[in-house]
Amino acid sequence: MKRLAVLLAGFIFTSMSGWANDWNSNSNQAFIFTENGIEFSVFQDGQFDFFIPNSGPNVSAGFRTSNVNFSFNTGYNYNPYVQYDSYGAVIQIQNTPIFYDNFGRIHQVGSIYMDYTSFGRLNRIGGLQLFYRNNMLWRQSGFINHINRSYVWRPWHNYYAMPAAQFNLIGYYPYRQFYVPVRHIYYRPYINNNRHFTFNRHQTNYRRGANSTRSQAYAQSPRTRAERNLRSNVQRRHKEINASRNSRLSSANTTRRENSRSISEVHRSANRDASSRVNRAAAPQEVKPNVRRNQVSGRSSETTSHRSISQRSTRPDQARSSNRRTSEVSGRNSVQTKPAPVTRTKHNSERSSRSNSSRSSRNR
């Protein structure tokens, strides 16, 4: 009993610890989860495979390894339930929309988002975060969503396959940058639906409505009350998905802009530091003559200042001596000039007295 309990505990631990089948040995392992009743197997490079349990082969009763054609990439015909775009990419499975990034990697399945590293490896699926070391998967943390909290192994999970080489949608150029596919509501299986693949994926001049002729083949109208109810439910759900996607893309664009601004600021500061260092390194050779000139000018200014100070110091003495000289001269002049008017007045008085006396004598 103890051994059985240990085996069960080990099985539960291994089933909950890893989302990828064979994730330690396979270089492009898959991560398996379910969304709207569809089982997806997403690989690390952005390609995927899927299986519809309700509309595909019955593999729950017993899976046969001799006839492995249960998934989309293994060859099972899911054309009655799949909508393609002009590039041959699956953009909708029944009423579950699928979105791609500019390079053709799967970016969203229903309400589950996916992100990639700078070297093109899957690093996030919903709430599950993946960590790499030397371009190899190292560890993982979290879970995708409340429905996919842990990985549950199934016998057919080892048989999910990569798409064929001619159906590889990943490109080195952002060929889907301006391409907006048109999705229609799925009511019933399609008739005579075929996949047309465009090998030239370097056409980046697609605009909205470019695949209108292709999408018209998937236009259906509701016939019964159940289909009308399905239409309202699908429209409401698609609006929610598009709103959340637009908000997420806008926030991602703002973060990218902020990161680009911060990076540009870092580059600018680095360039400024480098230029300042260069200027500092070249400054002594150019500044030495100026320093000498400044020293000479400083000396000359010192001499002129000393001269001005000495002149200022001598000016009061000169002023004092000049004042003394002027006072002495004025004093002499005053001494010499004072008797003059007195003598003049005496002579005048004598002359007047003489004239008066002469006059009186004459009269006499």
- pLDDT band at residue 325 using 50, 70 and 90 as cut-offs: low
User: What is the number of other CB atoms lying within 10 angstroms of the CB of residue 75?
Assistant: 12
Domain boundaries, the chain: 17-220
Percent pLDDT > 70 in the chain is: 59
The whole-angstrom separation of Cα 48 and Cα 71 is 10
Q: Are 46 and 30 in contact (CB under 8 A)?
A: no
Partnered with residue 82 across adjacent β-strands are: 93
pLDDT of residue 57: 86
pLDDT of residue 316: 47
Most confident of 56-70, 230-244, 256-270: 230-244
User: Higher model confidence: residue 13 or residue 323?
Assistant: 323
User: Higher model confidence: residue 11 or residue 202?
Assistant: 202
Q: Are 93 and 52 in contact (CB under 8 A)?
A: yes
pLDDT of residue 118: 87
User: Assign residue 105 a region: left if phi > 0, alpha if psi is -120 to 50, beta otherwise?
Assistant: beta
pLDDT average, residue stretch 2-18: 47
Q: Are 270 and 262 in contact (CB under 8 A)?
A: no
Query: What single string gives the DSSP state of each residue in 194-216?
Result: -----S--------TTTTHHHHG
pLDDT of residue 275: 72
- pLDDT band at residue 200 using 50, 70 and 90 as cut-offs: low
- pLDDT band at residue 284 using 50, 70 and 90 as cut-offs: low
The whole-angstrom separation of Cα 126 and Cα 109 is 10
* Nearest residue to 55 via CA among 72, 33, 30: 72
User: What is the number of other CB atoms lying within 10 angstroms of the CB of residue 258?
Assistant: 10
pLDDT tens, 84-140? 998 899 999 999 999 999 999 999 999 999 999 988 899 999 999 999 988 888 899
- Element (DSSP H or E) covering residue 348: helix 339-363
pLDDT of residue 131: 93
- pLDDT band at residue 34 using 50, 70 and 90 as cut-offs: very high
pLDDT of residue 186: 96
pLDDT of residue 97: 96
pLDDT tens, 220-233? 999 999 999 999 99
pLDDT average, residue stretch 251-265: 69
pLDDT of residue 106: 96
pLDDT of residue 24: 38
pLDDT average, residue stretch 173-201: 87
